[in-house]
Amino acid sequence: MKKIIISPSILSADFAILGEECAAMEKAGADELHIDVMDGHFVPNISYGAPIMKCLRKVNKMFFDTHLMISEPLRYIEDFVKGGADRITFHLECDNDPMEVIEKIRSFGVLPAIAIKPGTPYEKVVPYLPFIDMVLVMTVEPGFGGQSFMADMMPKVEALRKIIDTENLGVKIQVDGGIDKNTIKTAADAGADIFVAGSALFKQEDYIKAVSELRAAAE
Ligand code: DX5
Ligand code: ZN
């Protein structure tokens, strides 16, 4: 059985008690923490930045999976490295040269990853696969939590899985947006291995139950 990675999106957490929320998610068996950064420019919403992450890093030792929905990632990579990022995902649609961003992230010993929006064809990310740790196929339009899963993104996941496996690249595939206990199976069957979920985890009463139900549904 392949390893299923559950990455709760803290965008849906209660920010007033963020540390406790993340500790509870860790205790519930989540594998990583997904940190959504929005600049109000690349996406029509503002979330939080590196200072919040840095505070969280002091009280939490989990793997920080950082998702930068920002126009100029190059300018802020160092801030997020200092904030404690373990992986930094930037958007292929950003204003910087992807190869330059990848190299900058790697220069700090952090794992680089590329995200593609629903309108971006998977072919565009293929040239970068040998240089990244993970590709994120967005299953909603980035910017907000709580949107519906776009099942029509699954052909992109399938195509990338095929290339990654055929060429033995070892790149992970992440899906983000509308993942819940019903949709996670669809994404897992298509070949995803890292599953981001905000509402389906942080908006639930019982985190232990929520994490284990998601994992069971994916397996
Ligand atoms: C959307 C973010 C997601 C979001 C997912 O722009 O990248 O990580 O928090 O939230 P849900 O799981 O509620 O769709
Ligand atoms: Zn995200």
**Any idea where the domains of the chain sit in the sequence?**
5-218
Q: How many CB atoms lie within 10 A of CB 39?
A: 17
Of 31, 65, 176, 180, the active-site residue reads 176
Give the chain's length: 219
The alpha carbon of 219 and the centre of ligand 2 are apart by a number of angstroms equal to 22
| Whole-number pLDDT of residue 2 | 76
pTM of the model: 0.98
- pLDDT per residue, tens digit, the chain (219 aa), is 678 999 999 999 999 999 999 999 999 999 999 999 999 999 999 999 999 999 999 999 999 999 999 999 999 999 999 999 999 999 999 999 999 999 999 999 999 999 999 999 999 999 999 999 999 999 999 999 999 999 999 999 999 999 999 999 999 999 999 999 999 999 999 999 999 999 999 999 999 999 999 999 999
Question: Can you tell me the distance from the alpha carbon of 116 to that of 122, in angstroms, rounded to the nearest whole number?
Answer: 8
Ligand 2 is an ion; residues with CB less than 5 A from it: 36, 67, 176
Q: CA 134, CA 132: separation in Å to the nearest integer?
A: 6
With a Cβ cut-off of 6 Å, ligand 1 is lined by 9, 11-12, 34, 36, 67, 140, 142-147, 176-179, 196-200
Spatial strand order of the sheet with 63-69 comes to: 5-8, 194-197, 172-176, 134-138, 111-116, 87-91, 63-69, 32-38
Residue 144 one-letter amino acid: F
Class of the CATH domain delimited by 5-218: alpha beta
